[in-house]
Amino acid sequence: MKEMNSVHIPVRSISLPSRLHPNSLKIETELNKLKSRQILSSDSTTNSLGAESIQLGVTKLAELFISIEELTHSPQTQQAFHPQNLNEVEEVLDGSVGLIDICSTARDMLMAMQEHIRDLQSALRRKGKDSSSIESDVQTYISFRKRAKKDITKCLATLKKLENSALSCPTLNEEHHLSYVIKLIKETHAVAVTIFRSVMLFLAPPVTKTSIFGWSLISKLTRSGLLASDRGEKIFNEVGRVDITLCSIHGQIKKNNDAVFVVQQVKERLKTLGVSIQDLECKLNCLFRCIIQNRVSLLNLATA
């Protein structure tokens, strides 16, 4: 019996003290789930992910930051901090600034899009009385989308830098509790970068060989019946479907009285997009608060 007990002693030493906190295993599990989700493994050059997938990813990320917050406030973490770990904490704090900026930009984009959607819906309700108003608001929306594309491109470049920064992080000593916590936070930030990239691609104009705002593409889509087909539903997300449909009626409302079906389609898609944008903004607001709170907690830890 003594020999059997001595055999099991080194096996028990494999469990690191840092993992005794219940949230640590929970965080590792949630990180693995998020990494395995389609939202993180999809082609980064497409925007085919729908609003529901994006919203779920943002929600799960917020929950992950909440768990990180609880782990940061745990007695183990508070006791493990030492001035020699200050550089590690400051590195994480720097990363959080970039995430906060991107999240804030995404929220601003969603608010602006909601405003344009409401204007379009109002114009479409006045159809027959003031068709010029519809044309004007459609053009305004298309111009807004062109400007948004530039902002999205800048955000994607910023996210790439944040991603490269995370990948270049030195290997941490996980046997030290605080280093282990820092590692979890950095991995959470890396997941956040990927989810924010998905948000930006969701808001980006559809990726096509010809510009989404070019008449050659619209003509091709109209001839192929793509606007109304199930095939079109599978290619573009809620944002892209509105872009395609609006471009198809732009400049044609006064000339073609048979565009009633397409106008009705615009109304339906705007309604769907409006709800999706509102829900996503709500979830991003929650995530924004979680990232801010996590940053405040780390600052308090570093300055205590």
Angle of CA points 269, 275, 280, to nearest 5°? 120
pLDDT in tens, 122-144: 888 876 545 566 777 788 888 89
Q: Which residue has the higher pLDDT, 256 or 200?
A: 200
Sequence ranges of the domains in the chain: 49-208+278-303
Percent of the chain clearing pLDDT 70 (strictly above): 70
**What percent of the chain has pLDDT above 90?**
37
pLDDT recorded at residue 130: 53
In angstroms, the Cα distances linking 120 to 114, 117, 126, 137, 208 are 10, 5, 10, 6, 24
In tens, the pLDDT along 16-46 reads: 444 556 788 889 889 988 888 756 554 444 5
